[in-house]
Amino acid sequence: MCFIQEGLALFSAADEQVLTKRVLLGVEYRSQRGEDGVNYMNSDVMISIVLPAFTDQDNLDRIIGEFIANQPDETWELIVIDDGSSPPLKLNSNSPKNWRLLRNDVNQGAAIARNLGARSARGKHIVFLSAFLSFPQDYIQKIHAFIAQHEFDFAQHEIEKARQLETSHFQSFLANQTRRLTRPERGLSIKQSLFTAAIIRQAVFNELGGFDESMQHYGGHEMDLIYRLDKRGYSTRIIIEDLPLERIKLETHTKIRTRLQEYGRVGLPALLKKHPELKRTILTYPLVWSLLKTIDLPKSMERRFKRRIEQDLELTRRQYRLYLHLIVRNAWDIS
């Protein structure tokens, strides 16, 4: 989900000014106290939630209701980015005045969408969230407590399947991210760090320049930013314990395969062109892989796993992980 990139908001210092509009690359901002009575220069905002959304107004209404139940105040804000929906999305009429909806008329990609929201954020911490998640009514309270009690450069929610959600075995494996994360003493690995539901300090995000908007294909812009954080010394990556979020919507097996194949053909080559040293981390055991390719074993194994998943036969966690790796790597080989 993606949107037109905009520059940093500029604010007038005039004491009596009621409304100043700045237009930066097509995105409109209000300076100081706007006609809605909100002080956009408030420095007390601790958390900015950045949430891209697309086409599903009912789903956005659900999310807005969940966040309203979190007792809105001046310490946090919600920024929704409409990814060129038709008809355009809109905020609930009960939404607090300091919540905003930014819109792009054309679908641009996840990196641009997240950057758009982050550059509009006023909070000391940015919380990137996804529209397929559900949020408990004490979410903000617990996030405030987590930030106050932990030192980190990047913190990531665990994702679980909503109890009422009917899924295939494959979808259940993907939805329950908790089962797939390891907990090494040094924290999350680069490959396990995702922005599906994650927290980062705004100052650090800005220092790194946000997401690389040239990496608009599935997955690449997230690993790129995590790696750049790591190289800059921001390498403390932790899991947000005791606050898993429920996933209430899932993609089909076919759509997941398409996304991973796109990553293997386009996103991964772009990532490795920028960071060739990551090849050893992502494309492991190159000699073994080359030997297996001579007998067509990787493609054969992928086809075998694919058939079993289409029959909704349950695989082991190791087999599911291998299947996902095979999809990406086989696509990489033909890129």
**What is the value of pTM for the model shown?**
0.84
The burial class, CB within 10 Å (0-12 / 13-18 / 19+), for 127 is buried
CB burial readout 188-213, b (16+ within 10 A) else e: bebebbbbbbbbbbbeebeebebbbb
Instruction: Supply the pLDDT for residue 124.
Output: 97
pLDDT digits (tens, 9 = 90+) for 77-129: 999 999 899 999 999 888 999 999 999 888 888 899 999 999 999 999 999 99
Task: From 156, 153, 162, 164, select the one nearest 132 (Cα to Cα).
Answer: 162
Amino acid at position 185, single letter: E
* Average pLDDT of the segment spanning 22-26: 27
Q: Is pLDDT of 131 > 70?
A: yes
Instruction: Determine the Cα angle at 250 with ends 216 and 311, to 5°.
Output: 115
Q: Is pLDDT of 271 > 90?
A: yes
Instruction: Supply the pLDDT for residue 36.
Output: 43
Q: Which residues are paired to 155 by β-bridges? A: 199, 238
Structural class in CATH, domain 21-250: alpha beta
182: confidence class by pLDDT, cuts 50, 70, 90: low
Query: Distance between CA 176 and CA 152 in Å, rounded?
Result: 24
* Average pLDDT of the segment spanning 240-252: 93
β-bridge pairing 198-201 and 125-128: antiparallel
Query: Where in the chain are the domains?
Result: 21-250, 255-333
Of 175 and 18, the one with more pLDDT = 175
